[in-house]
């Protein structure tokens, strides 16, 4: 990507990238209770409400995929991170709900 505008990333495309060994930061911005129900392996969990103070825990140069339940909160989070200078941002289209539907039907849903 040539600019910091967050781009959508379909769950199947994310799976393919992970399966190929790409190193991506998977930032889950859901609430702790939601992450307790289901989560992608290897996530970094920072609830959306804490992102403004905890964004310094993240590498602004790392390629980051932002995740939530349906893709709305993650879009807001990705835009906020772009405004803070994060360069390569993706928003998981449809969130963990679509991931469960399209990639991992065994994942718990809510």
At 7-60, the pLDDT tens digits run: 999 999 999 999 999 999 999 999 999 999 999 999 999 999 999 999 999 999
Confidence of residue 4 (pLDDT cuts 50, 70, 90): confident
Tell me what pLDDT residue 3 has.
Answer: 59
Q: And the tokens for 54?
A: 């905890």
**Neighbouring residues of 44: CB distance < 8 A, sequence distance ≥ 6:** 25, 26, 27, 28, 57, 58
Task: With a cut of 50, say whether residue 1 has pLDDT above it.
Answer: no
pTM: 0.95
Tens of pLDDT, residue by residue over 66-107, are: 999 999 999 999 999 999 999 999 999 999 999 999 999 999
What residues are labeled active site? 68
The domains of the chain are located at 7-102
Q: What class, spelled out in words, does domain 7-102 have in CATH?
A: alpha beta
Q: Indicate whether 2 pLDDT > 60.
A: no
Strand bridging mode 89-92 / 44-45: unpaired
């Amino acid at each position: 990507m040539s600019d910091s505008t967050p781009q959508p990333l379909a769950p199947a495309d994310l799976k393919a990238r992970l399966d190929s060994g790409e190193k991506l930061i998977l930032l889950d911005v859901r609430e702790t209770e939601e992450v307790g129900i289901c989560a992608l392996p290897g996530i970094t969990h920072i609830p959306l409400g804490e992102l403004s103070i905890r964004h310094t825990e993240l590498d602004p140069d790392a390629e980051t995929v932002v995740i939530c339940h349906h893709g709305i909160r993650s879009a807001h989070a990705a835009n906020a991170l772009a405004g803070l200078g994060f360069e390569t941002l993706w928003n998981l289209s449809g969130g963990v709900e679509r991931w469960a539907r399209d990639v991992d039907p065994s994942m718990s849903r809510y």
